[in-house]
């Protein structure tokens, strides 16, 4: 039986390679060279668009652990990256043209992969298909996905708030409560007095914003999802009537309502990550770290995901996908790559490997590959398929998605090394 794969980005190439190396015939559909998305510049597969860096290489980093797990699973992208690496300090960076060129040749020359240069407009629910069409999916294919998922898909992701680790929040400067005592202690509240708020406001309105690409700009950005810096520019007290409103709250340490208050909302079921509520932003990453760390409770915050503002079509994976990356309402159709809500080059590629392996196992009548939640790939898949996640936002590799090690290791470097070693031990024993 042939498997259909839509899209020859990193995820699509990994899915095709995972299946082909296991003896399964693949029809890989890619709309290049007949049509390119606004982000793409050449006709190669697995094109790196924004950067040639694949992030940290060391094993005691989240990005490094992810890449090591991909090596263990037979990644075509990691093989190409190692052959085309360029000097980049502690990061793995590549010559992007050579990188995508090698992958293109491997995929096109594999006897089990049939490359079809054609745009796909419709998903056949009766065919085993892996959709890897990327974050700029549009047109008839987007409509087909909406139809297949009962229109519960393809959010237009304009501005998203940062996420911090729970352990990096200064719990001596917060209180847990919901407004007007509705809902229990659901939120972590980060109060600010008048002087702290005014200093934060001045830093925010003068902070440097990230440039937008032409295809990111649209009329809905500032209407449905206003960046916090744009809101602040409308007046010194605007945020105090918006996401920083203190009404309905009393700070137990003072007995009074704060001058301003940021609420943090649990991002995952384990409570290891928290979202800065209402802090959608387009500030540069360094500026986010500098300015948001001025909030007293976040003075030493560890940002596992910075806020971003760009065009990004992704499905509501927690509601739609099984852990094997197939649709709950149609197990013939799998999704992989950024369209699932994983964010980053290698994160997208890793989901393609997993989707390919699980389709192969399905064809053999075997159970899907279940990676434990203490591996990086397993944790990312667990996050995007966690039904308890509300306000779903894309996520890249970070140690905040992994369950903590007990007893707690205070030294960050030692803790990260232990988290990585725990994951690699599983691969040593099972792969």
Rounded to 5 degrees, φ, ψ at 297 are: -70, -15
> What class does CATH assign to 3-157+312-430?
alpha beta
Q: What is the pLDDT of residue 87?
A: 80
9-61 confidence digits (pLDDT tens):
999 999 999 999 999 999 999 998 877 666 566 889 999 876 778 999 999 99
Q: What is the pTM of this model?
A: 0.77
Instruction: Report the chain's terminal Cα–Cα distance, integer Å.
Output: 26
Give, in words, the CATH class of 160-306: mainly beta
Beta-strand relationship, 260-266 and 187-192 = antiparallel
The domain limits of the chain are 3-157+312-430, 160-306
pLDDT(172) > 90: yes
Whole-number Å distance between alpha carbons of 40 and 30:
13
Identify whether the C-beta of residue 46 lies closer than 8 Å to the C-beta of residue 100: yes
Nearest-CA neighbor of 345 among 59, 22, 32, 39?
Answer: 39
Question: Which residue in 201, 252, 255 sits closest to 231, CA to CA?
Answer: 201
Q: How far apart are CA 74 and CA 96, in angstroms?
A: 20
Which pair of structure tokens corresponds to residue 389? 């996640």
pLDDT in tens, 65-93: 999 999 999 999 999 999 999 887 788 98
Q: Model confidence at 156, in pLDDT bands (50, 70, 90)? A: low
pLDDT tier at 214 (50, 70, 90 boundaries)? very low
Residue 204 has pLDDT above 50, yes or no: yes
Determine the angle formed by the axes of helices 412-430 and 62-72, rounding to 10 degrees: 10
pLDDT band at 155 (very low <50, low <70, confident <90, very high): low
Mean pLDDT, the chain, rounded, equals 90
pLDDT at 6: 98
Q: How is residue 84 annotated by DSSP?
A: S
Cβ(164)–Cβ(274) below 8 Å: yes
Indicate if the pLDDT at residue 263 is higher than 60.
Answer: yes
């Amino acid at each position: 039986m042939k498997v259909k794969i839509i899209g020859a980005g990193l995820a699509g190439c990994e899915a095709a390679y995972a299946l082909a190396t296991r003896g399964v015939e693949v029809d890989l559909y890619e709309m290049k060279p007949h049509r390119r998305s606004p982000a793409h510049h050449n006709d190669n597969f697995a094109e790196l668009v924004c950067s040639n860096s694949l992030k940290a290489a060391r094993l005691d980093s989240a990005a490094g652990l992810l890449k090591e797990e991909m090596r263990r699973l037979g990644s075509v992208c990691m093989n190409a990256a190692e052959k085309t690496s360029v000097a980049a300090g502690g990061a793995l960076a590549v010559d992007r043209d050579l990188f995508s060129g090698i992958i293109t040749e491997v995929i096109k020359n594999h006897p089990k992969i049939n490359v079809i240069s054609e745009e796909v407009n419709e998903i056949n629910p009766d065919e085993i298909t892996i959709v890897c069409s990327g974050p700029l999916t549009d047109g008839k294919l987007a409509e087909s996905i909406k139809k297949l998922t009962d229109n519960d898909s393809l959010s237009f992701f304009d501005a998203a708030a940062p996420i911090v680790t729970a352990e990096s929040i200064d719990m001596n400067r917060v209180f847990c409560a919901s407004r007007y005592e509705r809902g229990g202690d659901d939120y972590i509240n980060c109060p600010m007095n008048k002087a702290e708020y005014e200093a934060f406001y001045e830093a925010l309105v003068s902070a440097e914003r990230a440039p937008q690409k032409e295809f990111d700009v649209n009329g809905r950005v500032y209407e449905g999802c206003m960046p916090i810096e744009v809101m602040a520019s409308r007046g010194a007290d605007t945020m105090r009537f918006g996401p920083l409103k203190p009404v309905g709250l009393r700070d137990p340490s003072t007995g009074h309502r704060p001058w301003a208050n940021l609420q943090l909302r649990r991002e995952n079921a384990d409570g290891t990550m928290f979202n800065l509520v209402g802090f959608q932003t387009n500030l540069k990453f360094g500026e986010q770290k500098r300015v948001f760390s001025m909030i007293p409770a976040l003075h030493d915050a560890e940002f596992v995901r910075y806020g971003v503002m760009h065009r990004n079509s992704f499905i509501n994976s927690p509601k739609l996908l099984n852990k094997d990356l197939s649709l709950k309402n149609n197990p013939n159709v799998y999704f992989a790559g950024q369209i699932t809500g994983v964010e980053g080059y290698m994160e997208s590629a890793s989901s393609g490997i997993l989707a390919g392996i699980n389709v192969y196992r399905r064809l053999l009548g075997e159970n899907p590959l279940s990676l434990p939640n203490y591996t990086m790939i397993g944790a990312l898949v667990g996050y995007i398929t966690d039904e308890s996640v509300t306000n779903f936002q894309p996520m890249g590799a970070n140690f905040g998605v992994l369950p903590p090690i007990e007893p707690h290791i205070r030294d960050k470097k030692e803790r990260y090394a232990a988290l990585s070693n725990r994951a690699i031990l599983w691969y040593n024993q099972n792969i």
